[in-house]
Amino acid sequence: MSIIIAVDIGGTQIRVAAYRRGSLEPVDVRRTPTRGEGAAFDRMCAVIQSIWPEHSTVEKIVVALPGPLDPETGVIFSAPNIPGWDNFPIGPELEKRFGVRTLIGNDANLAALGEWRFGAGQGHHHLLYLTVSTGIGGGVISDDRLLLGVRGLAGEVGHIAILPDGPLCGCGQRGHLEALASGPAITRYVQEQLSSGIESTLRLKHKLTARDISEAAAKGDALAIHALERAGTYIGQALATFVQLLNPSVVIFGGGVSFSGKYLLDPVRASLEKQIMDKSYLKNLLITHAELGDDAGLMGALALGLLPDN
Amino acid sequence: MSIIIAVDIGGTQIRVAAYRRGSLEPVDVRRTPTRGEGAAFDRMCAVIQSIWPEHSTVEKIVVALPGPLDPETGVIFSAPNIPGWDNFPIGPELEKRFGVRTLIGNDANLAALGEWRFGAGQGHHHLLYLTVSTGIGGGVISDDRLLLGVRGLAGEVGHIAILPDGPLCGCGQRGHLEALASGPAITRYVQEQLSSGIESTLRLKHKLTARDISEAAAKGDALAIHALERAGTYIGQALATFVQLLNPSVVIFGGGVSFSGKYLLDPVRASLEKQIMDKSYLKNLLITHAELGDDAGLMGALALGLLPDN
């Protein structure tokens, strides 16, 4: 029985899972911290080695990586959190080390592919996936194919300009969606409001997180509800542009912030309906939550490994 | 020898061309006014009948249409200029009349396909086409396939929100790219500036057009140059979003306004470079003019007819 080894390089940990073809339950999953002692690449290889099956053939290794990369050459262009991984040919290096075909993909792109194959997007041919957490990323499935673009950089949804001269974005520009509606952006907005004297149960929090805001919203806190509504409205505005360009049948929200549920997605829907140029785009358009949760990276890597071309 | 009949429904005329497979030179081209006596559909059918070859087989009819439509069902949803063409099943009606397979496509989508197959996009696998004229439309080729979306509505680039509370767009929303950078938008801006007392050679024009503005820019008129620069800057901002989402290797500009040449495209480039989140997207990105000119619709219809799936 042949095995696909999926690797998910997350912000805090690197997870490695071995899947038997035809099964969604991994045979084994192991992990190592992303930032730990020694080179991340060597530790990752040690985990892959430790999970390597004795009596089965490994067909391929598939790696889900944060940040921009070229799926064709297997080079990751930059990984801010991992020293030495700028312009690092991680695909070829793994092939050299283990002697099996290695594929790499952007984690948000692969999450889109995972949701399409195994999650909330099953049965849809045109899908848009957005992950709203520390940043805002995404992936597009068009006609049952992952949209990659010429250098594998497609699917970047977080850096659409929304508010001229708006807040500074991590990329150096101003007013991007990510600077207005990501977890840290929502938290920053709430902190500003608290500083200006607005009343809220969130005032008691020592170190405010997006999760705190979600929870406060669920308990009726007006500021928390307003902050999520504001973020959702911006997301809906961006979504109108994406939906008009791509005409998907499903939009799937993943990432921590999307667990705010209706407090985020209701405003997203309202804003999208208000902003869309033509109601035809909304006919039968499903807007829903991701289903794969923390396994999106691994399952997405598996989905990529299972594509017939690969 | 089998024949493909291409039909291009333009704002002023309907053109019908018969192409031999393997040739880009039509055997014959005939036309009728879009708004004329009698029903447009009947006049179009009469022209198709008149061009119908005596000694060859017609393989299919392909129609390029303005406005939103569903390529799968052959229904055009709305054609503001043609009475009776709202939700009109033009594809099935033509099949009934002539007994051959009939395909329909949005004219901007088909222009994208035409440029990819026969024009400025040859050899590229990931292409973005924008037409800037009375409106702003577009089309996307990804991985050598025309991006259509679930209902064939993809490729809408003109209605991206650029300026909150900006000028009213034809679609009813405010601040869309089309309301800021289309031919009428540029003309309206120049007229406003003239009304406010700005000096310009354009003051002498009785009925100002986008072409007048292009010509004045070429002669050094400061207001004309500024107006095109302003439009180009907005287009560049929108382009950053599209390029980040699609990662094309070529962006092609068609439509009358794009004939303003460097006065429009230089600001587009400068604005794109300023707005893009990562320079990797610009590496080897070609920004250029359409090559098919007025034949974009017919050649695009031919390109659709020649696709192996069709």
Cβ atoms A84, A286 nearer than 8 A? no
List, for residues A128-149, the tens digit of each pLDDT value: 999 999 999 999 999 999 999 9
**Hey, are the CB atoms on A163 and B164 less than 8 Å from each other?**
yes
- Is A164 found in the same domain as A239? yes
Nearest CB to A68; choose among B169, B278, B284: B278
Cβ atoms A66, A82 nearer than 8 A? no
Phi/psi region, residue B84 (left: phi>0; alpha: psi -120 to 50; beta: rest), is: left
Residue B147 identity: L
In degrees and rounded to multiples of 5, residue B90 shows phi and psi of -65, -35
B233 lies within 8 A of chain A by CB: no
Residue B277, domain CATH: 3.30.420.40
**Hey, are the CB atoms on B247 and A277 less than 8 Å from each other?**
no
Structure tokens, A208: 């405010």
- Distance separating alpha carbons of residues B239 and A160, to the nearest angstrom: 10
Q: Reduce the DSSP state of residue A310 to 3 states and report it.
A: coil
Long-range Cβ pairs for the range B144-149 (8 Å, 24+)? B144/B116, B145/A143, B145/A145, B146/B105, B146/B109, B146/B112, B146/B113, B146/B304, B147/A142, B147/A143, B147/A147, B147/A246, B148/A143, B148/A247, B148/B71, B148/B109, B149/A126, B149/A142, B149/A246, B149/A247, B149/A248
List, for residues B86-125, the tens digit of each pLDDT value: 999 999 999 999 999 999 999 999 999 999 999 999 999 9
Is the pLDDT at B159 greater than 90, yes or no? yes
Q: What is the mean pLDDT of residues B173-180?
A: 95
- Is B283 found in the same domain as B162? yes
A307 lies within 8 A of chain B by CB: no
- Is B59 found in the same domain as B136? no
- Is A163 found in the same domain as A134? yes
- Distance separating alpha carbons of residues B107 and A153, to the nearest angstrom: 28
A283 interaction partners in chain B (CB closer than 8 Å): 151
* Residue A209 confidence (pLDDT): 92
- Is A230 found in the same domain as A150? yes
- Is A299 found in the same domain as A286? no
Shortest distance between the Cα of B258 and any Cα of chain A, in A, equals 21
Strands A13-20 and A2-9: antiparallel
A84 lies within 8 A of chain B by CB: no
Cβ atoms B34, B47 nearer than 8 A? no
* Residue A83 confidence (pLDDT): 86
Nearest CB to B151; choose among A149, A157, A280: A280
Cβ atoms A223, A200 nearer than 8 A? yes
Closest by Cα among B24, B33, B32, B34 to B4: B24
- Is A105 found in the same domain as A9? yes
Strand partners, B20: B3
Looking at residue A239, what DSSP letter applies?
Answer: H
* Residue A36 confidence (pLDDT): 85
Q: What angle do CA A109, A9, A253 make, to 5 degrees?
A: 40
Confidence of residue B289 (pLDDT cuts 50, 70, 90): very high
Per-residue pLDDT of chain A (310 residues; tens, 9 = 90+): 799 999 999 888 999 999 999 899 999 999 999 988 889 999 999 999 999 999 999 999 999 999 889 999 999 998 877 888 999 999 999 999 999 999 999 999 999 999 999 999 999 999 999 999 999 999 999 999 999 999 999 999 999 999 988 999 988 999 999 999 999 999 999 999 999 999 999 998 889 999 999 999 999 999 999 999 999 999 999 999 999 999 999 999 999 888 888 999 999 999 999 999 999 999 999 999 999 998 999 999 999 999 987 6
Looking at the structure of chain B, the number of domains it has is 2
* Residue A156 confidence (pLDDT): 95
Is the pLDDT at B309 greater than 80, yes or no? no
Does residue B193 fall inside a structural domain? yes
Does residue A284 fall inside a structural domain? yes
List, for residues B118-147, the tens digit of each pLDDT value: 999 999 999 999 999 999 999 999 999 999
**Hey, are the CB atoms on A164 and B163 less than 8 Å from each other?**
yes
Q: What is the mean pLDDT of residues B205-224?
A: 93
Cβ atoms A180, A162 nearer than 8 A? yes
Is the pLDDT at B68 greater than 90, yes or no? no
Is the pLDDT at B79 greater than 90, yes or no? no
| Domain residue limits at B99 | 2-111+295-306
- Is A302 found in the same domain as A286? no
- The total of other beta-carbon atoms located within 10 Å of residue A73's CB is 13
Closest by Cα among B247, B294, B285 to B111: B294
> Could you tell me the strand order of the sheet in which B136-142 lies?
B145-146, B136-142, B126-132, B250-254, B286-289
A148 interaction partners in chain B (CB closer than 8 Å): 143, 247
- Is A80 found in the same domain as A175? no
**Hey, are the CB atoms on A176 and B241 less than 8 Å from each other?**
no
Output the average pLDDT for chain B. Answer: 94
Shortest distance between the Cα of A13 and any Cα of chain B, in A, equals 26
Q: How far is CA A90 from CA A35, A127, B184, in A?
A: 17, 28, 51
**Hey, are the CB atoms on B161 and A237 less than 8 Å from each other?**
yes
* Residue B80 confidence (pLDDT): 74
Residue in the block written with tokens 């999760």: A211
Rg of chain B in Å (alpha carbons):
20
B112 interaction partners in chain A (CB closer than 8 Å): none
Euclidean distance between the first and the last CA atom of chain B, given in angstroms as a whole number: 18
In chain B, whose CA is at the least distance from the CA of A176?
Answer: B277
Question: DSSP assignment of A213-231, as one string?
Answer: HHHHHHTT-HHHHHHHHHH
pTM above 0.90, yes or no: yes
**Hey, are the CB atoms on B161 and A275 less than 8 Å from each other?**
yes
Nearest CB to A153; choose among B148, B169, B281: B281
Does residue B117 fall inside a structural domain? no
- Is A130 found in the same domain as A273? yes
B260 lies within 8 A of chain A by CB: no
Does residue A93 fall inside a structural domain? yes
Q: What is the mean pLDDT of residues B196-217?
A: 92
* Residue B143 confidence (pLDDT): 95
Confidence of residue B205 (pLDDT cuts 50, 70, 90): confident
3-state SS string for chain B: CEEEEEEEECCCEEEEEEEECCCCCCCEEEEEECCCCCCHHHHHHHHHHHHCCCCCEEEEEEEEECCCEECCCCEECCCCCCCCCCCECHHHHHHHHHCCEEEEEEHHHHHHHHHHHHCCCCCCCEEEEEEECCCEEEEEEECCEECCCCCCCCCCCCCCECCCCCCECCCCCECEHHHHHCHHHHHHHHHHHHHCCCCCHHHHCCCCCHHHHHHHHHCCCHHHHHHHHHHHHHHHHHHHHHHHHHCCCEEEEECHHHHHCHHHHHHHHHHHHHHCCCHHHHCCCEEEECCCHHHHHHHHHHHHHHCCCC
Shortest distance between the Cα of A19 and any Cα of chain B, in A, equals 29
Does residue A117 fall inside a structural domain? no
- Is A175 found in the same domain as A271? yes
Q: Reduce the DSSP state of residue A279 to 3 states and report it.
A: helix
Structure tokens, A218: 């669920």
Confidence of residue B187 (pLDDT cuts 50, 70, 90): very high
A151 lies within 8 A of chain B by CB: yes
Strand partners, A14: A9, A32
| Mutation for testing the B interface, residue in A109, A144, A156 having most B CBs under 10 Å | A156
Does residue A15 fall inside a structural domain? yes
- Is A281 found in the same domain as A178? yes
Does residue A11 fall inside a structural domain? yes
Q: Where are the beta strands (DSSP E) in A247-297?
A: 250-254, 286-289
Percentage of chain B with pLDDT > 70?
100
Nearest CB to B68; choose among A155, A242, A278: A278
B176 lies within 8 A of chain A by CB: yes
Does residue A213 fall inside a structural domain? yes
